[in-house]
Structure 1
């Protein structure tokens, strides 16, 4: 008789039946009821079958949200964007419903991922390869109503194109997409719970500042759960270690015109500064992605301008030295002598205005450049030496290059500030 009963209901059910009878009149712990519930729910359960009683007329609603933990890394060269956080997913499985009164008031229980149906999410545009989200040994929380809560910590590495136009004051925009592999809009529906991503547990990154993070569900062109994250770089380290030294070297290069020509250090000084700027250009280029799309970094253009100014400074320095060491027996061209005398006269006029007394200043004001030019024509033009030409040339080059450097660097900073 007992053998017939065991064969009809199965060994496992027979053991559970004996345990239930053994608990009559005694207080049984919840572990027994959990074991009974576990067996009752999984008996005949197929984890490969989509939940739902009517597939043709009833969509399975999957509620999803993401709690961002940290922007772990973003590689501008390879385009790898990695974030960590908690993926919160819930759905209802009617096969996992039960009455708490039949199991000593148990309102929830736990199952492993491999034991019940789980949405097979994969990361779209994955950087490391295609893998399913989650782990077979991960535990799920299931309520007596059949609602399954899946809270899975994830590390998502997605491909993202870097826009380094305003580097190091750049802002990046990356999208992370989760796809329910094998399911379409005819079977399931994804609901994004809340538009902004939950950032209450966000940990600041030492390199990036989180600007905004939004989440949404899309159905076109494919069914997916998408997170759009915008973040900007913390530029202080790069500004202090690369940008400011480069700008300062650009202005230091102009002081080559103030060095005495007899020292013989002008050309060496210009070449040293030129090589230093070239080294900084190579360092910055190695830190940027090897691409010209959507646009090269404006910083690269600035460094090219600095190198161009350094080359022009070197060329003008050589010209100034040739003027200085030219023989006095060689006559200065008439136009060059006039220009030199005119610049010297203007300079001496300004100096006189700042030094003369008020009584004399009135007479100085009456002097016009036309009168000085007439005096020049009356004098012998050979009175202008090549050393005077060199001195005027150096002063003019110093002023011109300082103005050019100021204009270029200020324009660069204004463009970055308006980005």
Structure 2
């Protein structure tokens, strides 16, 4: 009964009008104490540039028309009313992604204290615009703003005042993709602004994008390990090239469509795609050279490449099989020390092995187009390995 009498007193006898602001006869503006309680980050859409958060505002102000002496009403110190039954500030989301609308809902109640203080806590799923900087994707950090303002009330009538703490993360639940590296709330030009610095968790993209790209880049280089005679060299290089094209499409679908910033990852993949294009072109030229007629002589550069390749192979074989040469040398010495060997044969045995044997063959048998392509395979394998390492170092250094 006391509660009913209190409602009758406030809204019937006093003829309370919700359109009448509490600052009508006051010289000082009504302070709207505000705080932001973040519950969670639902999503950050990089393509649309939209941040979706779940949170509620805590707004508190004084309304002199809704105060009473609690002793007159059996010590009732507070009551609840639907939010649309009392005056409230016209606070709206300034950078909302959808059309402008009032905060809260009809089911939300405001708490009215006996001293005239009103507490309003509108709960919302906020969709706000967020400028995305994709330069360091997927190791990027995005700074998003959630801006609130009073659209109609003038600063001389009502203005925001921060409640300590103005940004509360007590009820915040972590997001699987984004971490909050820093956050703060401030007042700027009579607007209440919440700043969230969101740091992306890169583990998913490392496993699903960067690692496959690097592995495909390594497989691309192994085109030069496959001999031309196998018939698979050209097909292998084209397969690796198409795989890069597919991954570039996947990366582009994950990035926002704008030309203000460019992702280092996209540049890295395009660089590898260009490298793959060059490998396909070089492979096609090698296949063409391999099947050139033997009558056409090799240029000096090809002959030089073959000689270098032969020297490297000879040096490698000496390092791999040192015991075999030692055994031959020992066998030679045993023959020379034999007392039954004629003197002529002993003297002839002192000649180098190369002079005793028949010449390795006509020089033209070594300088063939097939041998030239095999020598180029080794050169291009080393060259593109160095290119791959340089591109990876530049990419990861740019992300620091």
**TM-score when normalising by structure 1:** 0.82
Match of 2:6 among 30, 37, 41: 37
* 1:114–1:137 Cα contact (<8 Å) kept: no
Matches of residues 62-211 of structure 1 in structure 2 within 5 Å? 62-194=32-164, 197-211=167-181
| Structure 1 segment 281-300 matched on structure 2, within 5 A | 281-293=248-260, 295-300=261-266
Q: Aligned partners of 1:149 and 1:231: how far apart in 2?
A: 30
Q: Does 1:338 align with 2:304?
A: yes
For residues 7-65 of structure 1, the C-alpha deviation after alignment (integer angstroms, 9 at most, x for no partner) is xxxxxxxxxxxxxxxxxxxxxxxxx111111111122212112213633x211111100
1: CA distance between counterparts of 2:164 and 2:113?
23
Unaligned runs of 5+ in 2: 327-360
The residue aligned with 1:47 is 18
**238, 247, 262: which is aligned to 1:280?**
247
Q: Distance in 1 between matches of 2:180 and 2:259?
A: 26
Whether the 8 Å contact between 1:256 and 1:269 is mirrored in structure 2 is yes
Partner SS, residue 245 of structure 1: helix
1:392 maps to which of 366, 375, 391: 375
C-alpha separation between the residues in 2 aligned to 1:271 and 1:94?
A: 79
Give the number of aligned pairs: 363
Q: Which residue in the other structure is 2:230 paired with?
A: 263
Cα distance in 1 for residues equivalent to 2:8 and 2:295: 113
Give the equivalent residue in structure 2 for 1:404: 387
Aligned to 1:13: none
SS of aligned partner of 1:290: coil
Under a length normalisation based on structure 2, what TM-score does the superposition of the two structures give? 0.85
| Secondary structure class of the residue paired with 2:208 | helix
Runs ≥4 residues deviating over 4 A: none
* 1:144-198 per-position Cα deviation (integer Å, ceiling 9, x unaligned): 1111111221111111121111112221111011111211211112112236621
Distance in structure 2 (CA, Å) of the matches to 1:251 and 1:306? 10
Residue-by-residue CA offset, 1:58-95 (whole Å, 9 max, x unaligned): 11111100110011111111112111112111011111
Q: Is residue 252 of structure 1 aligned with residue 219 of structure 2?
A: yes
Q: Distance in 2 between matches of 1:334 and 1:59?
A: 91
Q: C-alpha offsets along residues 217-274 of structure 1, whole Å, 9 cap, x if unaligned?
A: 22x2xx2111111112222222212221121111101111111211111111111111
Does the 8 Å contact 2:238/2:280 carry over to 1?
yes
Determine the structure 2 residue equivalent to 1:309. Answer: 275
Cα deviation digits, residues 331-368 of structure 1 (max 9, x gap) = 222343134213422442354245437x98xxxxxxxx
Contact 2:179 2:200 in 1 (8 A): yes
DSSP-derived class of the 2:164 partner:
coil
Moved more, 161-170 or 124-133: 161-170
Q: Give runs of aligned pairs for residues 363-382 of structure 1, distance below 5 A.
A: 382=364
Segment drifting more, 81-90 vs 237-246: 237-246
Q: Which moved more, 1:88-97 or 1:228-237?
A: 228-237
1:344-363 pair list within 5 angstroms: 344-353=310-319, 355-356=321-322
Distance 2:116 2:165 in 1: 26
